[in-house]
Structure 1
Amino acid sequence: MPHKPGKRTVPMLSDAEEAELQARMKADPDAREMTDEELGRLRPAHEVLPPDVFAALMKRGRPKSPGRLVQVTLRLDPDALAAFRATGPGWQTRINETVKRAAKRLGQDPFGQDP
């Protein structure tokens, strides 16, 4: 199979590995294959789940933020950016909080309240 740039390739199991896997599955009662009757009784999720549960499961992407954020591009000093990134996950949020505090000190309350 040709390799496509940016795509992960999963190595195929050798015949010996496949045989070992099949033997382990046969020995495990919780990993048995479903019978034709069991497969025939399966129903799509939208037929068996309450509509609100199914709708919640179908939502994709990042949850909507309660506040509206604006995506911008700005240039930062590499050392300052590295310092925020070094703090771990949530570094963008910490930058936003720092900018809001600075705006408040400048008299521009980001929450629309009087300075």
Structure 2
Amino acid sequence: MSKTSKRPAIAMPTVEEDKAITAAAKADPDAQPLTPSQLKSMVPLRVLRGRPKSENKKLLVSVRYSREVVTYFKSTGEGWQSRMDSVLREYVERKAR
């Protein structure tokens, strides 16, 4: 199988074509260039995607629990992992006293 890209080549406009495109864009009242303050306030899209970063970042670990424990917490519905975390956190707080 060929490793070359199947995408078509991009043809860049000539200097004259670019000037004509720019002039047409500037003449359109609905498509004015962004001001320097607007450009400065822009944020990359990847920053806005996903859920907000937590102050209390959790660790990803692999743990084995008994079938009964997992079945019980799963039966409590959505958010069962968070409830399990809360129970373990309460245990840690009690033992730390």
TM-score, length-normalised on structure 2? 0.50
Measured on the aligned residues, the alpha-carbon RMSD in Å equals 2.9
Match of 1:86 among 64, 75, 87: 75
After TM superposition, give the deviation of residue 61 of structure 1 in Å: 2.6
Q: Determine helix, strand or coil for the equivalent of 1:62.
A: coil
Picking from 11, 22, 43, the partner of 1:55 is 43
Q: Which runs of 5+ in 2 are unaligned?
A: 1-28
Separation in 1, partners of 2:80, 2:45: 29
Deviation at residue 42 of structure 1 after TM alignment: 8.2
Equivalent of residue 98 in structure 1, options 78, 87, 90: 87
Bigger RCO (CA 8 Å, 6+ sep): 2
Runs of 4+ with >6 A deviation: none
| Cα deviations by residue, 1:37-76 (Å, 9 ceiling, x for unpaired) | xxxx986xxx6xx665x63865223321121211111100
The percent of aligned pairs where both chains have the same amino acid is: 27
Unaligned runs of 5+ in 1: 1-40, 108-114
What is the aligned counterpart of 2:62 among 73, 77, 89? 73
How high is the TM-score relative to the length of structure 1? 0.43
Please give the secondary structure, in 1, of the residue aligned with 2:68. helix
The structure whose Rg is larger is 2
